A and B are shown apart, each in its own frame.
Chain A
């Protein structure tokens, strides 16, 4: 695999004689693809576990999104920088070690400065380690691409994950608790009798919202699974 990657790289280097613009068409595509057409959650169906678990309210979801974007971008960068020195036979372990380090870092910082949120997210921050999106990007992209492109790829996948779970959380909190970021939205507009839907607070609600989201997206993009 690394042989192939090396060859591909050489070819690329020969072809692009003038430096590629920082935001060339190809690079824009790296970021925009995972946002919609190749979304990690709705198309690749990865990272569902945390998408279901943390999306009851907007605030923890936002913290989780930031954490995932941070981990995915920096692990992509680190692995990409090391990609030519990482021994092929232990590469999965190296990837895991890098992810685990970054996740522990996030977890420790949350514990020190955002203790309430640390308690709410508890295990799910730790579970970023096993989030298939992160490892998937490292193995599929960062191992064979340059650092800057890897960062873009990380941003794309990270935000692709983030906007989906934030959308799910938006509907779950709105319908399940009648609030957005704990701000009672229905009471604010004078609708005091708004019935909170208990189903939305349960993981079942996340499945439903996510299902509808995938449906809408696939209708728009015309994506069909083969």
Chain B
């Protein structure tokens, strides 16, 4: 039977309203839970860059560890602290949207720095910097944790939106992230070298500034390299200020 156009239009309209209503209802109802998951995820990633949290299953415990051990500041490109944003509201490091910041000019971005405190709660044990960049299909992001010397990598944690599962998406695997541990960002002369993920997998004889690559995911690796180099160079001023010895030590 062939329905009239009026019937089709009315049917479509009702369908649209019902489905639209259902979708927005779901979205509204689940939003608080999703926000909590995202917040937990962020804090997990920050912590994950410096310590092994896989043993902690309880979300509240992770938040407790985070509150106890992590202090945060927000700095500008010159390494100065920012307390309030352009509208006069206080800036919270955890709330800084790295993705939004990525789109604005590097000069005007706010850069959160997370400091993992030693057990005594006074000395900084590790500095954690967020990163953001483009992978092959969509954005990639990450947190890099540096030792007190602000040079040696303590740990790294990557995240991505749509890198190919089994290929580029492997950057989130512990084994891949572990390759960064102990590598150095600055050369012995103190110049910024970054850390490059090389092409291909199974390479040997890698330097202090290179890590083994991912087979079949060269474009993702390139994105990771670019992100690391770009973001760390934005923290240059902060690192220079905080470095334990600002003098360049030359090893001859």
Query: Which of A85, A94, A122 counts the most B-chain CB atoms under 10 A from its CB?
Result: A122
Say if the beta carbon of A92 comes within 8 Å of chain B: no
Residues of chain B with a CB closer than 8 A to A90's CB? 8, 11-12
Q: How far is the CA of A109 from the CA of B23 in the complex (A)?
A: 12
Residues of chain B with a CB closer than 8 A to A7's CB? none
Say if the beta carbon of A31 comes within 8 Å of chain B: no
A179 to chain B, nearest CB (A): 13
With contacts A87-B11, A94-B15 taken as known, whether A56 is within 8 angstroms of B165 at the C-beta atoms is yes
Which residues of A are in contact with B by a Cβ distance under 8 Å?
2-3, 53-54, 56, 85-90, 93-94, 97-98, 101, 104-105, 108-109, 111-113, 115, 119-120, 122-124, 198, 201-203
Q: Are B11's CB and A86's CB within 8 A?
A: yes
A121 to chain B, nearest CB (A): 8
Q: Are A87's CB and B7's CB within 8 A?
A: yes
Query: Which of B30, B166, B167 counts the most A-chain CB atoms under 10 A from its CB?
Result: B166
Q: Are A202's CB and B216's CB within 8 A?
A: yes
With contacts A111-B30, A115-B37, A198-B215 taken as known, whether A101 is within 8 angstroms of B11 at the C-beta atoms is no
Q: How far is the CA of A57 from the CA of B225 in the complex (A)?
A: 28
Q: Of A89, A111, A119, which one neighbours B8 at CB under 8 angstroms?
A: A89
A-B pairs with CB below 8 Å: how many? 69
Q: Of A101, A119, A203, which one neighbours B23 at CB under 8 angstroms?
A: A101
Query: Main secondary structure on chain B at its contact with chain A?
Result: helix
Q: Are B19's CB and A101's CB within 8 A?
A: yes
Q: How far is the CA of A109 from the CA of B244 in the complex (A)?
A: 47
Residues of chain B with a CB closer than 8 A to A109's CB? 30
A53 to chain B, nearest CB (A): 6
Residues of chain A with a CB closer than 8 A to B72's CB? none
Q: How far is the CA of A120 from the CA of B173 in the complex (A)?
A: 11
Q: How far is the CA of A125 from the CA of B19 in the complex (A)?
A: 19
Show 23 A/B contacts (Cβ-Cβ < 8 Å), sorted by A.
A2-B1, A53-B165, A87-B3, A87-B7, A90-B8, A97-B15, A105-B22, A105-B26, A108-B26, A111-B34, A112-B34, A112-B37, A113-B37, A115-B34, A115-B37, A115-B40, A115-B41, A119-B159, A120-B165, A120-B169, A201-B166, A202-B166, A203-B166
B8 to chain A, nearest CB (A): 4
Q: How far is the CA of A120 from the CA of B3 in the complex (A)?
A: 44
Residues of chain A with a CB closer than 8 A to B8's CB? 87, 89-90
A98 to chain B, nearest CB (A): 8
- Using CB atoms, name the residue of chain B closest to A85: B11
Say if the beta carbon of B99 comes within 8 Å of chain A: no
Q: How far is the CA of A89 from the CA of B38 in the complex (A)?
A: 42
Q: Are A108's CB and B27's CB within 8 A?
A: yes
Q: Are A3's CB and B1's CB within 8 A?
A: yes
With contacts A112-B33, A115-B37, A198-B215 taken as known, whether A104 is within 8 angstroms of B23 at the C-beta atoms is yes
Residues of chain B with a CB closer than 8 A to A203's CB? 166
Q: How far is the CA of A85 from the CA of B14 in the complex (A)?
A: 12
* Residues in B35-49 with C-beta less than 8 Å from chain A: 37-38, 40-41
- Using CB atoms, name the residue of chain A closest to B167: A202
